[in-house]
Amino acid sequence: MDLPQKFGKYTLLRRLATGGMAEIFLARQQGMGGFEKEVVVKRLLPTHAQNEELVTMFLDEARIAANLTHPNIAQIFDLGRAGDDYFIAMEFVRGVDLRRLCAQGIAEDAFLPRHHAVRIVAEVCDALAYAHAKTDEEGRPMHIVHRDVSPTNVLITYEGGVKLVDFGIAKASNKANVTKAGQIKGKFGYMAPEQALGGHLDHRTDLFAVGINLYEITVGRRLFKADNEVETLEAIEQARVVPPREVDPDYPEALERIVLKALARDPDARYQSARDLQMALEEYLAGAGMRSTAGMLAEYVRSLFAEQIELEAEESARLREEAKALEDEGQGPAEAAEAPAAAPPRPRPPLRRPSPRRRPPRPWRSPRRRWRPRRRPSSIPGPR
Protein backbone atom coordinates (compact mmCIF):
# COMPACT_ATOMS: atom_id res chain seq x y z
CA MET A 1 0.00 0.00 0.00
CA ASP A 2 1.30 3.45 -0.96
CA LEU A 3 1.04 6.03 1.81
CA PRO A 4 -0.18 8.71 2.36
CA GLN A 5 -3.56 7.57 0.99
CA LYS A 6 -7.11 8.87 1.27
CA PHE A 7 -9.46 6.69 3.29
CA GLY A 8 -12.94 8.15 3.58
CA LYS A 9 -12.63 11.44 5.44
CA TYR A 10 -9.19 10.47 6.73
CA THR A 11 -5.74 10.43 5.17
CA LEU A 12 -3.71 7.39 6.17
CA LEU A 13 -0.16 8.54 6.91
CA ARG A 14 1.77 5.56 8.24
CA ARG A 15 1.10 1.96 9.16
CA LEU A 16 1.74 1.48 12.88
CA ALA A 17 1.04 -2.23 13.26
CA THR A 18 -0.67 -5.23 11.70
CA GLY A 19 -2.33 -7.99 13.70
CA GLY A 20 -4.29 -11.11 12.95
CA MET A 21 -7.58 -9.22 12.81
CA ALA A 22 -6.82 -5.61 11.88
CA GLU A 23 -4.15 -3.15 10.80
CA ILE A 24 -3.53 0.16 12.54
CA PHE A 25 -2.58 3.43 10.87
CA LEU A 26 -1.63 6.90 11.97
CA ALA A 27 -4.09 9.13 10.12
CA ARG A 28 -5.02 12.77 9.68
CA GLN A 29 -8.48 14.27 9.72
CA GLN A 30 -8.97 17.68 8.11
CA GLY A 31 -11.97 19.98 8.41
CA MET A 32 -13.16 23.53 7.86
CA GLY A 33 -11.19 26.58 8.93
CA GLY A 34 -7.83 24.83 9.07
CA PHE A 35 -9.05 22.15 11.48
CA GLU A 36 -6.82 19.09 11.55
CA LYS A 37 -6.30 16.26 13.97
CA GLU A 38 -4.09 13.19 14.13
CA VAL A 39 -5.96 9.99 14.96
CA VAL A 40 -5.37 6.26 14.86
CA VAL A 41 -7.44 4.32 12.32
CA LYS A 42 -7.91 0.64 13.04
CA ARG A 43 -9.07 -1.11 9.87
CA LEU A 44 -10.43 -4.64 9.78
CA LEU A 45 -8.33 -6.70 7.39
CA PRO A 46 -10.10 -7.12 4.02
CA THR A 47 -9.78 -10.91 4.32
CA HIS A 48 -12.09 -10.77 7.37
CA ALA A 49 -14.74 -8.44 5.94
CA GLN A 50 -17.03 -11.36 5.09
CA ASN A 51 -16.49 -13.16 8.41
CA GLU A 52 -19.62 -12.30 10.39
CA GLU A 53 -18.16 -13.31 13.76
CA LEU A 54 -15.01 -11.19 13.34
CA VAL A 55 -16.99 -8.22 12.05
CA THR A 56 -19.24 -8.48 15.10
CA MET A 57 -16.22 -8.63 17.44
CA PHE A 58 -14.74 -5.58 15.72
CA LEU A 59 -17.98 -3.60 16.08
CA ASP A 60 -18.35 -4.73 19.71
CA GLU A 61 -14.95 -3.24 20.53
CA ALA A 62 -16.04 0.14 19.19
CA ARG A 63 -19.44 0.01 20.90
CA ILE A 64 -17.92 -0.80 24.30
CA ALA A 65 -15.08 1.73 24.13
CA ALA A 66 -17.32 4.48 22.72
CA ASN A 67 -19.29 4.39 25.99
CA LEU A 68 -16.15 5.01 28.04
CA THR A 69 -15.06 8.62 28.56
CA HIS A 70 -12.23 8.74 31.08
CA PRO A 71 -8.80 10.44 31.10
CA ASN A 72 -7.08 7.06 31.55
CA ILE A 73 -8.87 5.32 28.66
CA ALA A 74 -8.04 5.97 25.00
CA GLN A 75 -11.07 7.56 23.34
CA ILE A 76 -13.06 6.29 20.35
CA PHE A 77 -14.03 9.05 17.89
CA ASP A 78 -15.65 7.26 15.00
CA LEU A 79 -16.91 3.90 13.71
CA GLY A 80 -17.65 3.52 10.05
CA ARG A 81 -17.13 1.88 6.72
CA ALA A 82 -15.13 3.16 3.76
CA GLY A 83 -16.01 1.09 0.72
CA ASP A 84 -15.84 -2.51 1.92
CA ASP A 85 -13.55 -1.71 4.87
CA TYR A 86 -14.78 -1.42 8.45
CA PHE A 87 -12.77 0.95 10.62
CA ILE A 88 -12.52 2.55 14.05
CA ALA A 89 -10.98 6.00 14.53
CA MET A 90 -9.51 6.53 17.97
CA GLU A 91 -7.28 8.79 20.01
CA PHE A 92 -3.62 8.93 18.99
CA VAL A 93 -1.52 8.56 22.14
CA ARG A 94 2.00 9.96 21.84
CA GLY A 95 4.09 7.76 24.07
CA VAL A 96 5.22 4.17 24.65
CA ASP A 97 3.66 1.09 26.14
CA LEU A 98 4.63 -0.19 29.58
CA ARG A 99 6.60 -3.13 28.21
CA ARG A 100 8.80 -0.88 26.05
CA LEU A 101 9.23 1.62 28.89
CA CYS A 102 10.61 -1.13 31.14
CA ALA A 103 12.78 -2.58 28.36
CA GLN A 104 14.32 0.83 27.65
CA GLY A 105 14.87 1.38 31.35
CA ILE A 106 16.86 -1.87 31.45
CA ALA A 107 18.89 -0.83 28.43
CA GLU A 108 19.70 2.53 30.06
CA ASP A 109 20.41 0.96 33.48
CA ALA A 110 17.58 3.11 34.85
CA PHE A 111 14.76 0.65 35.52
CA LEU A 112 11.32 2.10 36.25
CA PRO A 113 11.48 3.59 39.78
CA ARG A 114 9.10 1.95 42.21
CA HIS A 115 7.12 5.08 43.01
CA HIS A 116 6.40 5.62 39.31
CA ALA A 117 5.47 1.94 38.90
CA VAL A 118 2.92 2.17 41.71
CA ARG A 119 1.52 5.41 40.28
CA ILE A 120 1.05 3.85 36.83
CA VAL A 121 -0.83 0.87 38.26
CA ALA A 122 -3.00 3.17 40.40
CA GLU A 123 -4.00 5.08 37.24
CA VAL A 124 -4.88 1.79 35.51
CA CYS A 125 -7.05 0.91 38.50
CA ASP A 126 -8.83 4.26 38.17
CA ALA A 127 -9.65 3.44 34.54
CA LEU A 128 -10.89 -0.04 35.44
CA ALA A 129 -12.98 1.23 38.35
CA TYR A 130 -14.77 3.52 35.91
CA ALA A 131 -15.23 0.82 33.26
CA HIS A 132 -16.42 -1.81 35.75
CA ALA A 133 -19.08 0.55 37.14
CA LYS A 134 -20.31 1.78 33.75
CA THR A 135 -24.03 1.60 33.03
CA ASP A 136 -25.98 1.88 29.79
CA GLU A 137 -28.44 4.63 28.84
CA GLU A 138 -31.14 3.04 30.99
CA GLY A 139 -28.93 2.72 34.05
CA ARG A 140 -28.32 -1.02 33.76
CA PRO A 141 -24.78 -2.24 34.62
CA MET A 142 -22.77 -3.14 31.53
CA HIS A 143 -20.55 -5.59 33.46
CA ILE A 144 -17.47 -4.69 31.43
CA VAL A 145 -14.40 -6.89 31.96
CA HIS A 146 -11.32 -5.90 29.95
CA ARG A 147 -9.74 -9.41 29.98
CA ASP A 148 -6.42 -8.20 28.52
CA VAL A 149 -4.76 -5.89 31.06
CA SER A 150 -1.17 -6.46 29.96
CA PRO A 151 1.90 -4.19 29.58
CA THR A 152 1.35 -3.69 25.85
CA ASN A 153 -2.15 -2.34 26.55
CA VAL A 154 -0.96 0.26 29.06
CA LEU A 155 0.41 3.37 27.34
CA ILE A 156 2.54 6.03 29.03
CA THR A 157 2.44 9.38 27.26
CA TYR A 158 5.39 11.72 26.91
CA GLU A 159 3.47 14.10 29.18
CA GLY A 160 3.26 11.54 31.99
CA GLY A 161 -0.30 10.35 31.35
CA VAL A 162 -1.45 6.74 31.58
CA LYS A 163 -3.91 5.24 29.08
CA LEU A 164 -5.56 1.82 29.07
CA VAL A 165 -6.27 0.67 25.51
CA ASP A 166 -7.67 -2.20 23.45
CA PHE A 167 -11.10 -3.35 24.59
CA GLY A 168 -11.09 -5.74 21.62
CA ILE A 169 -11.83 -8.85 23.69
CA ALA A 170 -13.64 -7.11 26.53
CA LYS A 171 -16.66 -8.85 28.02
CA ALA A 172 -19.85 -6.81 28.42
CA SER A 173 -23.54 -7.54 28.86
CA ASN A 174 -24.50 -5.64 25.67
CA LYS A 175 -22.09 -7.44 23.33
CA ALA A 176 -23.57 -8.99 20.22
CA ASN A 177 -20.84 -11.64 20.14
CA VAL A 178 -20.89 -13.98 23.17
CA THR A 179 -17.82 -15.95 24.23
CA LYS A 180 -18.55 -19.68 24.24
CA ALA A 181 -18.27 -21.63 27.48
CA GLY A 182 -14.73 -22.87 27.99
CA GLN A 183 -13.28 -20.51 25.38
CA ILE A 184 -10.13 -18.70 26.52
CA LYS A 185 -9.44 -15.11 25.46
CA GLY A 186 -6.49 -13.03 26.58
CA LYS A 187 -2.69 -13.15 26.69
CA PHE A 188 -1.04 -16.13 28.30
CA GLY A 189 0.94 -14.84 31.25
CA TYR A 190 -1.61 -12.13 32.14
CA MET A 191 -4.68 -14.22 32.89
CA ALA A 192 -6.44 -14.95 36.15
CA PRO A 193 -6.85 -18.62 37.19
CA GLU A 194 -10.56 -18.61 36.35
CA GLN A 195 -9.76 -17.11 32.94
CA ALA A 196 -7.13 -19.77 32.18
CA LEU A 197 -9.66 -22.46 33.16
CA GLY A 198 -12.36 -20.99 30.91
CA GLY A 199 -14.58 -20.28 33.91
CA HIS A 200 -16.85 -17.43 34.96
CA LEU A 201 -15.26 -13.98 34.75
CA ASP A 202 -16.11 -10.76 36.53
CA HIS A 203 -14.36 -7.49 37.37
CA ARG A 204 -12.05 -9.26 39.84
CA THR A 205 -10.50 -11.11 36.90
CA ASP A 206 -9.00 -7.80 35.76
CA LEU A 207 -7.63 -7.17 39.25
CA PHE A 208 -5.57 -10.37 39.12
CA ALA A 209 -4.05 -9.14 35.83
CA VAL A 210 -3.32 -5.80 37.48
CA GLY A 211 -1.56 -7.71 40.26
CA ILE A 212 0.64 -9.48 37.69
CA ASN A 213 1.65 -6.14 36.16
CA LEU A 214 2.34 -4.64 39.59
CA TYR A 215 4.49 -7.63 40.57
CA GLU A 216 6.55 -7.56 37.39
CA ILE A 217 7.32 -3.84 37.27
CA THR A 218 8.17 -3.60 40.98
CA VAL A 219 10.00 -6.92 41.44
CA GLY A 220 11.75 -6.78 38.08
CA ARG A 221 10.96 -10.16 36.57
CA ARG A 222 8.16 -12.06 34.86
CA LEU A 223 5.71 -13.81 37.16
CA PHE A 224 4.05 -16.46 34.99
CA LYS A 225 6.54 -17.32 32.27
CA ALA A 226 7.34 -20.97 31.64
CA ASP A 227 8.97 -22.86 28.78
CA ASN A 228 5.66 -23.29 26.96
CA GLU A 229 2.04 -22.15 27.08
CA VAL A 230 0.81 -25.32 28.81
CA GLU A 231 3.22 -24.87 31.73
CA THR A 232 2.40 -21.17 31.88
CA LEU A 233 -1.32 -21.92 32.17
CA GLU A 234 -0.66 -24.54 34.84
CA ALA A 235 1.29 -22.01 36.90
CA ILE A 236 -1.56 -19.51 36.57
CA GLU A 237 -4.25 -22.06 37.41
CA GLN A 238 -2.44 -22.90 40.64
CA ALA A 239 -1.50 -19.24 41.25
CA ARG A 240 2.09 -20.16 42.07
CA VAL A 241 3.50 -16.82 43.20
CA VAL A 242 6.98 -16.36 44.68
CA PRO A 243 6.53 -13.60 47.30
CA PRO A 244 8.41 -10.43 46.31
CA ARG A 245 10.50 -10.39 49.50
CA GLU A 246 11.86 -13.84 48.66
CA VAL A 247 13.20 -12.35 45.44
CA ASP A 248 14.32 -9.04 46.93
CA PRO A 249 14.67 -8.86 50.76
CA ASP A 250 14.52 -5.05 50.53
CA TYR A 251 11.07 -5.11 48.92
CA PRO A 252 8.59 -3.13 51.10
CA GLU A 253 6.37 -5.34 53.26
CA ALA A 254 3.36 -3.05 52.82
CA LEU A 255 3.59 -3.26 49.04
CA GLU A 256 4.08 -7.03 49.17
CA ARG A 257 0.79 -7.39 51.06
CA ILE A 258 -1.00 -5.43 48.34
CA VAL A 259 0.57 -7.51 45.56
CA LEU A 260 -0.22 -10.87 47.17
CA LYS A 261 -3.83 -9.89 47.91
CA ALA A 262 -4.35 -8.85 44.29
CA LEU A 263 -2.89 -12.22 43.21
CA ALA A 264 -5.06 -14.40 45.44
CA ARG A 265 -6.25 -17.50 43.58
CA ASP A 266 -9.76 -17.21 45.03
CA PRO A 267 -11.54 -14.11 43.66
CA ASP A 268 -13.25 -13.66 47.03
CA ALA A 269 -9.84 -13.23 48.68
CA ARG A 270 -8.74 -10.48 46.28
CA TYR A 271 -9.62 -6.82 46.41
CA GLN A 272 -13.31 -6.66 45.60
CA SER A 273 -13.09 -3.60 43.37
CA ALA A 274 -10.51 -1.73 41.34
CA ARG A 275 -11.23 1.31 43.53
CA ASP A 276 -10.22 -0.64 46.65
CA LEU A 277 -6.93 -1.63 45.01
CA GLN A 278 -6.33 1.92 43.83
CA MET A 279 -6.89 3.29 47.35
CA ALA A 280 -4.50 0.71 48.82
CA LEU A 281 -1.81 1.85 46.38
CA GLU A 282 -2.47 5.53 47.10
CA GLU A 283 -2.20 4.86 50.84
CA TYR A 284 1.06 2.99 50.30
CA LEU A 285 2.57 5.93 48.43
CA ALA A 286 1.42 8.38 51.10
CA GLY A 287 2.61 6.17 53.96
CA ALA A 288 6.02 5.67 52.36
CA GLY A 289 6.40 9.40 51.73
CA MET A 290 6.62 8.84 47.96
CA ARG A 291 5.46 11.23 45.27
CA SER A 292 4.93 10.54 41.59
CA THR A 293 3.28 13.27 39.56
CA ALA A 294 2.58 13.42 35.83
CA GLY A 295 5.44 15.89 35.46
CA MET A 296 7.90 13.63 37.29
CA LEU A 297 6.85 10.60 35.23
CA ALA A 298 7.10 12.65 32.02
CA GLU A 299 10.65 13.67 32.91
CA TYR A 300 11.61 10.02 33.39
CA VAL A 301 9.98 8.91 30.11
CA ARG A 302 11.52 11.76 28.12
CA SER A 303 14.97 11.02 29.54
CA LEU A 304 14.74 7.51 28.06
CA PHE A 305 13.19 8.41 24.71
CA ALA A 306 14.64 11.83 23.86
CA GLU A 307 16.00 10.68 20.50
CA GLN A 308 12.78 8.92 19.54
CA ILE A 309 10.70 11.98 20.43
CA GLU A 310 12.86 14.13 18.15
CA LEU A 311 12.57 11.66 15.27
CA GLU A 312 8.80 11.37 15.71
CA ALA A 313 8.45 15.16 15.55
CA GLU A 314 10.43 15.27 12.28
CA GLU A 315 8.42 12.42 10.79
CA SER A 316 5.13 13.96 11.86
CA ALA A 317 6.01 17.25 10.15
CA ARG A 318 6.99 15.44 6.94
CA LEU A 319 3.81 13.35 6.90
CA ARG A 320 1.63 16.41 7.48
CA GLU A 321 3.17 18.12 4.48
CA GLU A 322 2.65 15.05 2.28
CA ALA A 323 -0.94 14.64 3.46
CA LYS A 324 -1.70 18.31 2.90
CA ALA A 325 -0.34 18.11 -0.64
CA LEU A 326 -2.45 15.03 -1.30
CA GLU A 327 -5.61 16.66 0.06
CA ASP A 328 -5.01 19.97 -1.76
CA GLU A 329 -4.44 18.26 -5.09
CA GLY A 330 -7.40 15.93 -4.60
CA GLN A 331 -5.30 12.91 -5.46
CA GLY A 332 -6.71 9.47 -4.96
CA PRO A 333 -4.72 6.32 -4.23
CA ALA A 334 -3.86 5.79 -7.90
CA GLU A 335 -2.53 9.32 -8.40
CA ALA A 336 -0.74 9.23 -5.06
CA ALA A 337 1.07 6.09 -6.16
CA GLU A 338 2.42 7.94 -9.22
CA ALA A 339 3.65 10.94 -7.24
CA PRO A 340 7.40 11.34 -6.73
CA ALA A 341 8.62 9.27 -3.83
CA ALA A 342 9.45 11.23 -0.70
CA ALA A 343 12.73 10.83 1.08
CA PRO A 344 12.60 7.82 3.40
CA PRO A 345 12.07 8.66 7.08
CA ARG A 346 14.94 8.31 9.47
CA PRO A 347 14.78 4.95 11.25
CA ARG A 348 13.75 4.90 14.86
CA PRO A 349 16.64 4.41 17.26
CA PRO A 350 17.11 0.86 18.54
CA LEU A 351 17.09 0.15 22.24
CA ARG A 352 20.56 0.92 23.54
CA ARG A 353 22.17 -2.00 25.28
CA PRO A 354 23.70 -1.59 28.73
CA SER A 355 27.42 -1.69 29.32
CA PRO A 356 28.80 -5.24 29.66
CA ARG A 357 29.87 -4.30 33.16
CA ARG A 358 26.27 -3.71 34.23
CA ARG A 359 23.78 -6.45 34.93
CA PRO A 360 20.36 -4.76 35.38
CA PRO A 361 17.25 -6.90 36.05
CA ARG A 362 15.65 -8.43 32.97
CA PRO A 363 11.92 -8.51 33.74
CA TRP A 364 10.72 -10.01 30.46
CA ARG A 365 13.44 -12.53 29.74
CA SER A 366 13.42 -16.26 30.31
CA PRO A 367 13.41 -17.25 34.02
CA ARG A 368 16.23 -19.63 33.22
CA ARG A 369 18.57 -16.64 33.16
CA ARG A 370 19.92 -15.66 36.53
CA TRP A 371 18.19 -12.57 37.88
CA ARG A 372 19.85 -10.00 40.11
CA PRO A 373 17.84 -7.82 42.52
CA ARG A 374 17.05 -4.37 41.24
CA ARG A 375 19.25 -1.49 42.32
CA ARG A 376 18.20 2.09 42.77
CA PRO A 377 19.11 3.92 39.52
CA SER A 378 21.41 6.78 40.48
CA SER A 379 20.23 8.86 37.51
CA ILE A 380 16.58 8.96 38.56
CA PRO A 381 15.88 11.13 41.62
CA GLY A 382 13.12 10.50 44.08
CA PRO A 383 12.35 8.02 46.88
CA ARG A 384 12.13 4.33 46.19
Nearest-angstrom CA–CA distance, 145 and 207: 10
Query: By the 8 A CB rule, do 116 and 160 touch?
Result: no
CB atoms within 10 A of CB 349: 12
Closest CA to 270 of 215, 204, 216: 204
Q: How far is CA 98 from CA 155, 253, 306, in A?
A: 6, 24, 17
Looking at the chain, the number of H-run helices and the number of E-run strands are 12, 9
Query: By the 8 A CB rule, do 216 and 222 touch?
Result: yes
Give the CA angle between residues 112, 239, 268 to the nearest 5°: 100
Q: How far is CA 381 from CA 112, 158, 275, 283, 297, in A?
A: 11, 18, 29, 21, 11
DSSP for 231-257? HHHHHHHHT----HHHH-TTS-HHHHH
Catalytic residue check, 206: no
Task: Out of 60, 97, 126, 148, pick the active-site residue.
Answer: 148
Nearest-angstrom CA–CA distance, 124 and 46: 33
Query: By the 8 A CB rule, do 354 and 22 touch?
Result: no
Active site residues: 148
